[in-house]
Amino acid sequence: MRRIVLFAAVVLVGLSACDPGPRVPPAAATERGRNEPVGETMKVKIGSKTYSATLADTPAAKKLKAMLPLTADMSELNANEKFFRLPAALPTDAADPGTIRAGDLMLWQSDTLVLFYETFPTTYRYTRLGRIDDPAGLAAAVGAGDVKVTFELE
């Protein structure tokens, strides 16, 4: 009997350690129910590709909108994101999204615009700015190095 209890305990511990993979919320969901899209859209131009993005309902996104049009020479970081230091700080309301999704537009600290082109789990804190509505082909469009990206109102 003791062996059966020990075996069951080992199996339960082993199962609890299984990694179910990254938590990817549904496309319509936003971080923890906050910062719902405002319905305002902008264009994100990368080379010959143009994407539509929906801005979040955040003070930071509203201030970013006031800066548009903006052409950014975005630098590569971590093989999953491009970043650009903004000319002025934006208001912050950083939260841990749990999972970054390809197409997320986030603010790191108060002055760094980040465009993510891969999906992955994270514990870092960002202020949500918006999201590219359909990020299909985004990784190929931004490429492996630095890239020029233009953000403008539709």
Q: Please, what are the domains in the chain?
A: 39-153 (2.40.100.20)
The structure's pTM equals 0.76
Residue 150 β-bridge partners: 45, 71
Cα separation of 105 and 97, whole Å? 12
Cα separation of 151 and 66, whole Å? 11
Q: For position 2, what pLDDT does the model report?
A: 53
Q: For position 32, what pLDDT does the model report?
A: 39
Look up residue 122 and give its DSSP letter: -
Q: For position 154, what pLDDT does the model report?
A: 85
Bridge-based pairing of strands 81-85 and 104-108 is unpaired
Residue 44 β-bridge partners: 51, 151
Please report, in tens digits, the pLDDT of each residue of the chain (154 residues total).
555 444 444 444 444 444 444 443 434 333 434 444 556 899 999 999 999 999 999 999 999 999 999 999 999 999 999 999 999 999 999 999 999 999 999 999 999 999 999 999 999 999 999 999 999 999 999 999 999 999 999 8
Cα separation of 44 and 49, whole Å? 8
Neighbours of 132 (CB within 10 A): 22
Contacts of 110 (CB under 8 A, 6+ apart): 89, 90, 91, 92
Q: 140 φ, ψ to 5°?
A: -70, -40
